[in-house]
Structure 1
């Protein structure tokens, strides 16, 4: 009952968590607390019933012992009376009939056995026990038929047996009444206690389940709402618990850290997208304005008609202007490759390699681009990120690997797009490369994160060198870019 009152107070008090706040239970303990409390109350009920049954069994055993003593007293009394009758018949005869002697011997055995059971069961005073043993020993026919000794022993034994019989009879009557009364009270008491304990167990289980269930569901709903807001685009981190007490606190802390990291990833993605958009705008401005102006100047110079030294000067100016236009176009291509928007990822890579990396002083390469790549539903951001990552990885091979050849592969493997660049150079361990001073690897990782790709560096299939691989999960069929 006290436990039930405590649970009710816990659920409906003004501060429902006050009792459990100092020592918050783990989630699994909160879940099993209600059935554990019910099982504890049921165990206490079983212990009470077991004790009650033991007490009843003890009283029944006591009643059986009194019955055994009563029968033994009756047997001893009958044996004593019969022995007294036989002694009266014998009188003062000097010779004893064999049959009388045998009967006396049999009666003595019954008397000895009955008194032995009495002394074994009854907790008699030592004086009474000594008197009984002495009287029975004096009635032993094996010691000789001495009528005076027998009469003295019977006179000493019969009053003691009579008093014991009266005592046992009173105890039996008293125990019989108490037994009947105890059984009725026991049934009523046991039924009442069983109903109270079962009812308390049900109430305690319900209230503990309600309290912890409501508490767990409220916290789960808060976490679910936080995750839903993050999924909907609201990247406000949910509050992190000051201390991790259970699994839900650990989940809340994980969601907080995940949201914080997602904020950084999204911030990086937005920054890269903004930078690429600005580069694209600058390239368009250069193309639409600066190149147009330079082309107009070039046409004006080409229309100039002069002879001699003047003609040579105009030719030099025209050549310098053409070189400047070419350099400006290269700058435009580095800012934002137009071939990527016009032709696609594969042709843009192929064009860049042919125009810039097919020189005699650079290592030869092998390029393979699957025809299925151009049909993939890649967004403009994904195509641009893949293009920049491929160029950065190729630049690292040329600058650091000291390779004599390398291979560039762009292919589709089931539901993934695979970009791999493999060389036969020195090789390196990317984990041993410090972050500071090596922006190339950092840029590759950050660009891959913005499009949801994974990058890895491993051993090359050549005898030496490094294999760079990017894996981009492709959107489902029918999903737009």
Structure 2
């Protein structure tokens, strides 16, 4: 489909009506021009008939005058002047006839010769004059009859053409106007409804965004006009707003996590250190024994282990040193490879390690994977689960699949929980898509995350930032 701007779409209907009206006017103008040509032809025939009548009248008067002079056998000055005057009228009339009427060359030659023979200025010869008039007058009568017939034909045709013109003009006008108006109306309704529908879609999308539903409106596959540009802009702004909101929620989650870590440090690590301090004070006062020294050492080792766990939760050192795959494998071996926990299978594609993902993307994938596994262990009642981190075309794909009891769904989304919200917000913050569905096992849930590689590159500027929240 060709690209039409909004202005072109709005003016297309009136332009179509104007074009059809112009074509109608041109047709009517051509019809009237054709009638005008026929009128000019009829006027020329009328002028020819008048010229023939004048020529015949002049020839008739010359013939009578020549006959009168021949009977009297005397040519006076008055008769000669009259004869010269009649010849001038005859010559002028014949000249108009030759100009207005198409004639054969023989007829033209005859008329010119007769006019020349009847010229008194070349001398008067009664027999020559009577002979020339005898040839001229029958020819003029015959031409007059032809001209009269042509006049009658043109008059009938003219009347018929006027009737046809009126009928044709009325018919063409009805057809033209009857076509232009409905066509213009249909085009106006088509483009108006199309524009109204597209504007309503954009308005509804903007309203949902204002109400807090940050679902981006669908972006057009091809940008054809200003509304498509606006739809693309709204889509991009919504996507950026989602990232901003997701980042804010992550920050809120990080703050909440800091409070939880502070409580853990206070309730556990600080308590252990207080016990160790009291034991050391007892030893200093001389009330301690060897058994108490062993207990102090155990408490100190436990406090150190607790502090290491807190530090690992804040930011896993293996992720910083060895990378995403090694960090996940280390965590699973240290914390999840236990007899009372479900059996698992972890697969990390070597291609993922070579993608050069930003620190923020690696940390987000690490947190999301652990949160998804935590949900399996806590809620799924599964005996087995699988974790896959692989590259598929231009995407990084994280899949966690179990054979547990599965989720309760509302429509296409699982029942909302804090862990699921954390997963969604982390995924949105780095431009990834998440979805839940049935597992390939006989029961259970499949969680899948898709991270476009071109979307992860925009997080390179966040390499210096770290996420202190845990899932």
TM-score category (smaller protein): 0.5 to 0.7
Partner of residue 173, structure 1: 152
Post-superposition CA distance 1:38-75 (Å, at most 9, x none): 11110111011101110111111111111111110110
**Aligned to 2:240, which of 256, 261, 265?**
261
Counterpart secondary structure, 1:82:
helix
1:129 counterpart = 2:113: no
Residue of structure 1 equivalent to 2:310: none
Supply the distance in 1 between the matched residues of 2:161 and 2:462 (Cα, whole angstroms).
92
**CA–CA separation in structure 2 for the residues paired with 1:95 and 1:296:** 174
CA RMSD of aligned residues (A): 3.4
Cα 1:292–1:104 change in 2 (3 A) is: farther
Q: TM-score, normalised by structure 1?
A: 0.55
Deviations 1:405-451 (A, max 9, x none): xxxxxxxxxxxxxxxxxxxxxxxxxxxxxx978978x89xxxxxxxx
Question: Where does 1:65-464 land on structure 2 (aligned, <5 Å)?
Answer: 65-91=44-70, 96-279=75-258
Give the CA deviation at 1:289. 9.4
Aligned mates of 2:161, 2:28 — CA distance in 1: 14
Question: Aligned-pair distance for 1:246?
Answer: 2.2
Between the aligned partners of 1:50 and 1:139, the Cα distance in structure 2 is 49
Query: 1:76 deviation in Å?
Result: 0.4
User: 1:341-400, CA deviations, whole angstroms, 9 ceiling, x for partnerless residues?
Assistant: xxxxxxxxxxxxxxxxxxxxxxxxxxxxxxxxxxxxxxxxxxxxxxxxxxxxxxxxxxxx
Alignment partner, residue 58 of structure 1: 37
Deviations 1:87-123 (A, max 9, x none): 1111176763222222112111111111111111111
| In 1, Cα distance between equivalents of 2:66 and 2:155 | 39
Whole-angstrom CA distance in 2 between matches of 1:269 and 1:103:
122
Q: Distance in 2 between matches of 1:133 and 1:269?
A: 111
Within 1, Cα distance between the matches of 2:190 and 2:130?
A: 84
Residue in 1 aligned with 2:368?
none
Secondary structure of 2:103's partner? coil
Question: For the residues of structure 2 that align with 1:282 and 1:94, how far apart are their CA atoms?
Answer: 156
Q: Unmatched 5+ residue regions in structure 2? A: 286-458, 467-471
Greater relative contact order (Cα < 8 A, sep 6+): 2
Count of matched residue pairs: 297
Whole-Å separation in 1 of the counterparts to 2:126 and 2:116: 14
What displacement does 1:278 show? 3.5
5+ long unaligned stretches in structure 1: 1-21, 307-434, 444-481
